[in-house]
Amino acid sequence: MKLILTREVSGLGLPGDIVEVADGYGRNYLVPRGAAINWTRGAEKQITQIKRAQDAREIRGLEHAQEIKTRLEGLKVTLNARAGDGGKLFGSVTQADVANAVKAAGGPLVDKKRVHLPGHIKTTGPHTVTIELHADVVASVPVTVAAQ
What are 52-77's pLDDT values in tens digits?
Answer: 776 666 666 778 888 889 999 989 99
Q: Of 117, 137, 142, whose CA–CA distance to 68 is shortest?
A: 137
- Cα separation, 99 vs 102, in Å, equals 5
pLDDT of residue 55: 67
Same-domain status, 39 and 81: no
pLDDT of residue 78: 94
Same-domain status, 118 and 101: yes
Q: Of 44, 121, 23, 132, whose CA–CA distance to 79 is shortest?
A: 121
Same-domain status, 73 and 135: yes
Report the Cα–Cα distance between both ends of the chain, in Å, rounded: 50
Same-domain status, 142 and 125: yes
Q: Among residues 10, 37, 57, which one ends one of the domains? A: 57
Same-domain status, 43 and 80: no
**Mean pLDDT of residues grouped by 10 in the chain (148 residues)?**
89 87 95 92 78 66 85 91 92 94 90 90 94 88 93
What is the count of structural domains for the chain? 2
Name the strands in the sheet holding 137-147, side by side, starting at the edge strand that comes first in the sequence: 77-81, 137-147, 125-134, 115-116
Same-domain status, 136 and 66: yes
pLDDT of residue 60: 67
- Cα separation, 108 vs 36, in Å, equals 27
Residue 103: strand, helix, or coil:
helix
> What is the CATH classification number for the domain harbouring 47?
3.40.5.10
> What is the CATH classification number for the domain harbouring 101?
3.10.430.100
Same-domain status, 24 and 77: no
pLDDT of residue 57: 60
pLDDT of residue 59: 65
Partnered with residue 36 across adjacent β-strands are 5
Please give the residue range of the domain that contains residue 90: 61-147
